[in-house]
Amino acid sequence: QVQFVESGGGLVQPGGSLRLSCVASGSIWRAYAMGWYRQAPGKEREWVAAVNNGGDSMSADFVKGRFTISRDNAKNTVYLQMNSLQPEDTAVYYCNRYAGSFFKWGQGTQVTVSS
């Protein structure tokens, strides 16, 4: 059974940066494409970025040029480097597999962008 623990969120000013981490447990996780998702209060969860096992990545249009997803398979960890953060990026950020059925969601990590 795969489990995820997200960390690295916090309070940052507009234009600032944060790096999120997601540590996964389980023997099969390394074979999956992984993604970052976010959910703001009163809104649906949305996809942010994804990376496959070989390190190839893609991202949603609203974060292109600002966010970079990467992974370290030896550490069972996926990262999200977030630069040029804006207030609309405020949300709880989660990681999970990108394609197929989702595993159990972790607790997420809160990102708040405010001046």
Read off the pLDDT of residues 80-105 as tens digits, 9 standing for 90 and up: 999 999 999 999 999 999 988 999 99
Rounded distance, CA 51 to CA 59, Å?
Answer: 9
> How high is the pLDDT of residue 79?
97
> How high is the pLDDT of residue 25?
86
- In the chain, which residues have pLDDT < 70? 27-30
**Residue keyed to tokens 């197929």:** 100
